Structure 1
Amino acid sequence: MNGRVYLVGAGPGDYGLITVKGLELLKNADVLVYDRLANSEYIGETKPGCELIYVGKASADHTMSQEDINRTLEKKAKEGKMVVRLKGGDPYVFGRGGEEGIHLRGNGIEFEVVPGVTSAIGGLAYAGIPITHRGIATSLHVITGHKKEGDLDLEWDALANVRGTLVFLMGVKNLERICKNLIACGKEPSTPAAIVSKASTSLQSTITGTLEDICEKAVQNDVRPPSLIVIGEVVSLREELSFFEERPLFGKNIVITRARSQASALCKRLQELGASVIQMPAIEIQKIMPDAGLSRAVDEISKYTCLVFTSTNGVEVFFEKLYEKGLDSRSLHGAKIAAIGDATQREILKHGIRADIVPERFVSESLAEELSKVLNEDDRVLLARARGARALLKEELDKICKVDEVATYEAVIPKEQSDANRQIMQSKEFDYITFTSSSTVTNFISMIGSDNMHVLDGMKKISIGPVTSKTAKSEGIDIDIEADEYNIDGIVKAILEDAGRN
């Protein structure tokens, strides 16, 4: 039985501009066929085992011809696979999606189109240029600035005399010809014009001028594809409507190595500040199974006078087992609750319990010190945390009372993501990479490979705290910046402060 092909528009560049449906299809694809204009972070959204096929095309440099792309889509669908053809912008706006659809239909393959935000609208919006505006531009015209045969045979008289906005896609190479033809056919030379390069990405740049001088400015600024050319009075609104390029981390590319399930808060904070964030999970949280140790501890929960949690993961797994056995938070009424970190404290609060002990410094040494003030030899402590965690906390508590340590989860290397991660690291230049635990450091090295550590050259390495920094140093990674606060807020502040100095 044949599979189905989905022609999905990825939007102009910003990761968040893909549609909900498009992202859902991407996550379930058996095969991803993608081009150079789609955000490389989408590769990381694919499921383990997804076949990745790059078919990027630049001017005079085609990885694969359109005919070969068509045949590839057909072939993979006939293997019974779900295929996502991911395109920058919208598949039907100069994206050759129609050609692919016709080929598939002609060969008995079912397909579906998922529209995307075209750069002609979304890209301009990110540059502060509305494609229409009441009283200024009541029509819009999206034109290809590149023809297969090289001859740009457009209706120049008609284009020169419209009062709306003209947007040329793929037109940088023909910019001079476009401007000269419009002026020759009556377009006012003083008409505002702009070129937006790499729209809605951290590398976005915008130059403005007039129809008469925009070519000269393009040469001065070494403008290169992919770029949008916009001509019309709406360009004059940019000064009032620009927002994307004003944010403090605009232009910064940041790699997040945290587990995907935990990275959303950090990603969201950095993206709101203007950064382009690439998720490259170096860890995947996996429950310890079978969990006889945890099961036994929950069965005997009443004997514990203190429960210690060092991460949100430990909290999640513990309470899941508690509820599975038909118990709830009331079972913990006689025990003190201790936690490391604000996030762990918040996770405990979700279950209706406030942690009794949370040290100011989010490290094991500080928690051990605080617990030493309230525990005595008659206490019994349950320490629920990751397998392979630092021995220090248990060793210190063992000096005071009996401690039962239960491994509730482990941080493992994400399955089958190494190739995708290496591809992402080599596809663009990054400014920062963040490490939020020792596991993210060691697993990152395992994923990338010790022979490929040069990919870290040129980017600043950010650590969440001294323990992670120590691990990095032992693995040959020099940490450039260590957060003053050992949490997500601390990482964000560290990056903001460093970016502000440069």
Structure 2
Amino acid sequence: MSSSFTVITGNEDPKKTESALDWKVLAQLSGTLVVLMGWRNMPSIVETLVANGKSPRTPAALIMWGTEPWQIAVTGPLSNIVDLAYEKGISSPVIAVIGDVAGLRETLRWFDNRPLFGKRALVTRTRAQAGKLSQRLEALGAIAVEAPTIEIQPLDDYTELDSAVTRLTDYDWILFSSGNAVEAVFDRIDALNLDSRAFAGTQIACIGPDTSSILQRHGIIPDLIPDTAVAESLINALTSLDMAGKNILIPKPDIGRDTLPTGLRAAGATITEVVSYRTVMPKSSKALVMDAISEGIDIAVFTSSSTVENLAKLLNDDLACLENAKIACIGPITAATAGELGLSVDIVATEHTIDGLVTAMEEHFVGGGDTG
């Protein structure tokens, strides 16, 4: 390791009659030499350093777009570092690092060998919810491109939802199949000047850990969470407790599967479904999606069937632009929807949560699943 470093410009004013840099002194330095903005002059910089006594075998590195997800770096001996950079397609902006420390790149390397480094990931989740997913992807080196294909909107009329919220204790169970349903119900609890006591004596089930986390932020610990975050698992968990004659409330979106109420009715339960929020396509979606695709997509990430269906609508059901992208889905239901629309799904989360989805993508690329 070097105990000192020197930083110089590699792009002096061409009008100067002579350099302000003492290249003989610079060539004799034992520490690390860092050259900024020097790509255009790099051949002459290397030649001058060697001519003034710097060993041509000195380790060197050239880094283009350093610290960015599209960073490219090359290392090698000083004498042919420029040729190696040409071969790798390097051009401005470039930083040069010259000295023994450059030879430690493979030992110290961490930034550009992350599993998703440089991959453009299309995030189709709602803008309000995309942040966590984008942050997790970027931590793994990806370029998260947010182009929401769905948006959660409030209802035009709260009469039915408010009626249910003011009678929560009339139900044996309340089932939350998404965090959006939780937020919608608690928005009305607040609007009606109620609090969590409105759930007194009522048991609560939710579809998975992400929904459970949102419930717990509101001070409610669910009584039941199935092993896997799909409606079928929730049905199995509930019917194992005997649902015959039970009065169950299901706050739901305006669109979605009817698997949960159908399965519980078959088990003898009395089901009340109440729409608690609307799922719509954002007005800005078309432009965002087209811009994202025009720049290339390596991974398309889907967190619900609606995100896939709306993307297909935006593209007039022509999903050929994603044929070279990896398709990642949060669970089997979303994956099935993607398959029905003609997409070949590469990644399906085992744990149907955002964390589980990111883990599945990481494992796919670390495990050599990336053939592109």
Same fold (TM over 0.5): yes
Partner of 2:25: 161
Instruction: Give, in whole Å, the separation in 1 of the partners of 2:337 and 2:128.
Output: 23
* Distance apart, 1:471 and its partner CA: 1.6
Does residue 1:498 correspond to 2:368, yes or no? no
Question: Which structure has the higher relative contact order (CA within 8 Å, separation 6+)?
Answer: 2
* 1:180-227 residue CA offsets vs partner (Å, 9 max, x unmatched): 244446655455431112322344232223432212322343433443
Does residue 1:387 correspond to 2:254, yes or no? yes
Three-state SS of the structure 1 residue aligned to 2:260 is helix
Does residue 1:419 correspond to 2:295, yes or no? no
Q: How does 1:469-480 map to 2 (within 5 A)?
A: 469-480=335-346
Q: How does 1:229-244 map to 2 (within 5 A)?
A: 229-232=96-99, 235-236=102-103, 238-239=105-106, 241-244=108-111
* 1:91-112 residue CA offsets vs partner (Å, 9 max, x unmatched): xxxxxxxxxxxxxxxxxxxxxx
Instruction: Give, in whole Å, the separation in 1 of the partners of 2:280 and 2:33.
Output: 53
Normalised to the residue count of structure 1, the TM-score between the two structures is 0.65
Q: How does 1:335-354 map to 2 (within 5 A)?
A: 335-354=202-221
* 1:62-83 residue CA offsets vs partner (Å, 9 max, x unmatched): xxxxxxxxxxxxxxxxxxxxxx
User: Is the CA contact (8 Å cut-off) linking 2:243 and 2:264 kept in structure 1?
Assistant: no
Partner of 1:488: 354
Instruction: Give, in whole Å, the separation in 2 of the partners of 1:471 and 1:258.
Output: 16
Three-state SS of the structure 2 residue aligned to 1:282 is coil
Instruction: Give, in whole Å, the separation in 2 of the partners of 1:296 and 1:395.
Output: 23
* Distance apart, 1:299 and its partner CA: 1.9
Question: Which range is displaced more, 440-449 or 332-341?
Answer: 440-449
Three-state SS of the structure 1 residue aligned to 2:63 is strand
Paired residue type of 1:425: I
Instruction: Give, in whole Å, the separation in 1 of the partners of 2:238 and 2:70.
Output: 49
Q: How does 1:324-339 map to 2 (within 5 A)?
A: 324-339=191-206
Residues 1:141 and 1:447: Cα distance change in structure 2 (over 3 Å): farther
Does residue 1:175 correspond to 2:39, yes or no? no
Paired residue type of 1:466: P
User: Is the CA contact (8 Å cut-off) linking 2:34 and 2:95 kept in structure 1?
Assistant: no
* Distance apart, 1:172 and its partner CA: 3.5
Question: Which range is displaced more, 152-161 or 237-246?
Answer: 152-161
User: Is the CA contact (8 Å cut-off) linking 1:136 and 1:234 kept in structure 2?
Assistant: no
Partner of 1:262: 129
* Distance apart, 1:156 and its partner CA: 6.3
Instruction: Give, in whole Å, the separation in 2 of the partners of 1:165 and 1:368.
Output: 65
Instruction: Give, in whole Å, the separation in 1 of the partners of 2:312 and 2:17.
Output: 53
User: Is the CA contact (8 Å cut-off) linking 1:168 and 1:230 kept in structure 2?
Assistant: no
* Distance apart, 1:134 and its partner CA: 7.6
Question: Which range is displaced more, 327-336 or 419-428?
Answer: 419-428
Three-state SS of the structure 2 residue aligned to 1:199 is coil
Residues 1:476 and 1:154: Cα distance change in structure 2 (over 3 Å): farther
Partner of 1:410: 278
Paired residue type of 1:285: I
Residues 1:224 and 1:455: Cα distance change in structure 2 (over 3 Å): farther
User: Is the CA contact (8 Å cut-off) linking 2:208 and 2:353 kept in structure 1?
Assistant: yes
User: Is the CA contact (8 Å cut-off) linking 2:173 and 2:204 kept in structure 1?
Assistant: yes
Residues 1:239 and 1:367: Cα distance change in structure 2 (over 3 Å): closer
Tell me the number of residue pairs that the alignment of Structure 1 and Structure 2 aligns. Answer: 363
Three-state SS of the structure 2 residue aligned to 1:315 is helix
* Distance apart, 1:275 and its partner CA: 2.9
Does residue 1:461 correspond to 2:343, yes or no? no
Residues 1:220 and 1:396: Cα distance change in structure 2 (over 3 Å): closer
User: Is the CA contact (8 Å cut-off) linking 2:64 and 2:73 kept in structure 1?
Assistant: yes
Structure 1: where are the runs of 5+ without partners?
1-132
Residues 1:377 and 1:166: Cα distance change in structure 2 (over 3 Å): closer
* Distance apart, 1:135 and its partner CA: 3.1
* Distance apart, 1:404 and its partner CA: 1.6
Instruction: Give, in whole Å, the separation in 1 of the partners of 2:34 and 2:24.
Output: 9
* 1:228-282 residue CA offsets vs partner (Å, 9 max, x unmatched): 3334565355455432134333343322222232223333333333333322222
* Distance apart, 1:461 and its partner CA: 0.8
Partner of 1:302: 169
User: Is the CA contact (8 Å cut-off) linking 2:253 and 2:278 kept in structure 1?
Assistant: yes
Instruction: Give, in whole Å, the separation in 2 of the partners of 1:457 and 1:255.
Output: 14
Three-state SS of the structure 1 residue aligned to 2:233 is helix
Instruction: Give, in whole Å, the separation in 2 of the partners of 1:214 and 1:156.
Output: 24
Normalised to the residue count of structure 2, the TM-score between the two structures is 0.86
